[in-house]
Amino acid sequence: MLGTMMDVPLTLQPLLERAAALFPEREIVSRLPDRSLHRYCYREFARRVRQLALALVSAGLKPGDRVATLMWNHYAHLEAYFGIPLAGGVLHTLNLRLHPDQLAWIANDAADRFLIVDEVLLPLLEQWRSRTRLARVLVVRSSAASSSALPAGCEEYEAFLDAGAGSVELPVAAEQDACGLCYTSGTTGNPKGVLYTHRSSVLHCLAVSLIDSLGLSQRDTLLPVVPMFHVNAWGLPYAAVMVGAKIVFPGRQLDAESLLELYESERVSVTAGVPSIWFALLEALDREPQRWQLPRMRMIVGGAAAPDALLRGFDRHGQQALHAWGMTETSPVGTVSRLTAELESASESEQYRYRAMQGQPVPLLDARIVGDSGVLPHDGQAMGELQVRGPWVASAYFGGSQDPEKFTADGWFRTGDVATIEARGYVKLVDRIKDLVKSGGEWISSMELECMLMGHPAVREACVIAVPHPKWGERPLAVIVLRPGTCATDAELRGHLAPHFPRWWLPEAFAFVSEIPKTSAGKFLKSSLRVQFPSWEWPPER
């Protein structure tokens, strides 16, 4: 029997229209390259989004065409988030931290026709633009005073918008039409594209806005530190517009002091970023705890595991660090670690243990762990590969590739993460499959060692890799970045770990470095460390 509900397509356009109608005066604030603040409201934002969409259609954009962006987090990038899909196009956010060769490869693989680029990023663009088939390049000026000549073949974004006042009609999107395209980080081989539909994006917005998820509402002021070119800033800009939240964009100034200034002046209540950003922020607060008068914020931590020390550190300053997990293929939010009602009466140590986990799957997303014998129990002990499925989880890569290494025959996405799942449904990542250390036939979690090491007061960053060992096959080597003005010995760090892990887990060796290489998403680039430390002169066995 057919249902009798209205068949209203789930597209991004109603989200935009709702914000303009119900919250027309709500602000969108952007810090520009000269550190000045650009302010306007949802009413003006919606008008300019429509101008952009009309201009793109007038310029010959066809439904499904990809429009790339090469921009920091600011108002014009948000206009592209909505204007490109409204024109029937697909928003393709390019990661400005990638090598020019990778950017050229990705732009060609996506067959990008148009590009919107920040003026400050033109030098980067010129390193790879000639190797692409871009038809139009639109330049967002750094400020209203910018007037320098643009490179040949480039045109001003504002002039392009002014051309959007014609009589062309905008296409009507279907909910299964593609609206966004993001590429994976590609640390092993070429990146892969993931297409998001209008439907998947709207459902993701609804899920992350639930109170037991990320809880975004019209009462919030959101500042996404996570780049808008990294999995659509975790979907938060779309969700913020949907609920009518105030949005504050930090531009390219992501140092701790610049962020703290905006948190304080704009009264931010929700912010999101990777652990390396939050550790720098925590250091600044610890140095000058009386300097900043911050509002209480939910500080969403993703991209890498949130060590216990990070959660406790922000608690000391009256802030709430909220752990979440996801991937490009999951749009990205998959789990959020909020305490259930039962856990609110648990001991402090038990609460921190759960808060440090990746959390429970958000509604509509299913999770399981799979081992050699099949699907494993959710008992907090069994370890297997984490697999997920849901309405915003990819079922294939851009171009139609249903890679059997990533997609199962029964319809689940293979994350490549090893995890346990507690009886309450909390997912705890143990490690990436490729990052586990196999010592004497037994597995050691590099991630758990890293989280505990970063709880030592002298350690700023810790990364653990497997290094060949003549007897045990592999042993963990801990690569350490110390905080300025501190020192620590191998024995001291090993002693810090000893109460928490079996003796055979403890690294025999520690390498102290000034910096750990990172991916464009801020994660530790372990492949570079494996090249840097292909072997080690192990001490005699104790």
| pLDDT given for residue 276 in this prediction | 86
Residue 186 has pLDDT above 80, yes or no: no
DSSP, res 538: P
| pLDDT given for residue 203 in this prediction | 98
| pLDDT given for residue 41 in this prediction | 98
DSSP, res 220: -
Q: Does 168 or 82 have the greater pLDDT score?
A: 82
H or E segment to which residue 180 belongs? strand 178-183
What's the rounded mean pLDDT across residues 26-47? 97
| pLDDT given for residue 394 in this prediction | 96
User: Contact 136/155 with Cβ under 8 angstroms?
Assistant: yes
Residue 220 has pLDDT above 80, yes or no: yes
469 φ, ψ to 5°? Answer: -130, 135
pLDDT band at 11 (very low <50, low <70, confident <90, very high): very high
490 φ, ψ to 5°? Answer: -55, -45
Write down the mean pLDDT value for the chain: 94
pLDDT band at 24 (very low <50, low <70, confident <90, very high): very high
- For the entire predicted model, the pTM comes to 0.90
Render pLDDT for 100-142 as a digit per residue (tens, 0 to 9).
999 999 999 999 999 999 999 999 999 999 999 999 999 999 9
Residue 329 has pLDDT above 90, yes or no: yes
| pLDDT given for residue 1 in this prediction | 61
436 φ, ψ to 5°? Answer: -65, 145
What is the three-class DSSP state of 20?
Answer: helix
| Active centre residues (catalytic) | 184, 329, 438, 443
Q: Flag the least confident range among 147-151, 215-219, 257-261.
A: 147-151
| pLDDT given for residue 165 in this prediction | 66
- Residues of the chain above pLDDT 70, percent: 98
User: Contact 221/250 with Cβ under 8 angstroms?
Assistant: no
Strand blocks (E) in 243-396: 246-249, 270-273, 298-301, 320-326, 333-336, 360-361, 366-371, 374-375, 384-389
Cβ atoms within 10 Å of 457's Cβ, excluding its own: 9
- Residues of the chain above pLDDT 90, percent: 82
pLDDT band at 187 (very low <50, low <70, confident <90, very high): low
Residue 321 has pLDDT above 60, yes or no: yes
pLDDT band at 66 (very low <50, low <70, confident <90, very high): very high
User: Contact 519/187 with Cβ under 8 angstroms?
Assistant: yes
Alpha carbon 275 to its chain centroid, in Å, reads: 11
Residue 357 has pLDDT above 60, yes or no: yes
| pLDDT given for residue 518 in this prediction | 86
Output the DSSP codes for 480-526.
EEEPTT----HHHHHHHHGGGS-GGGS-SEEEE-S---B-TTS-B-H
Residue 522 has pLDDT above 80, yes or no: no
Residue 409 has pLDDT above 80, yes or no: yes
Domains of the chain in sequence order? 10-196 (3.40.50.12780), 255-433 (3.40.50.12780), 436-532 (3.30.300.30)
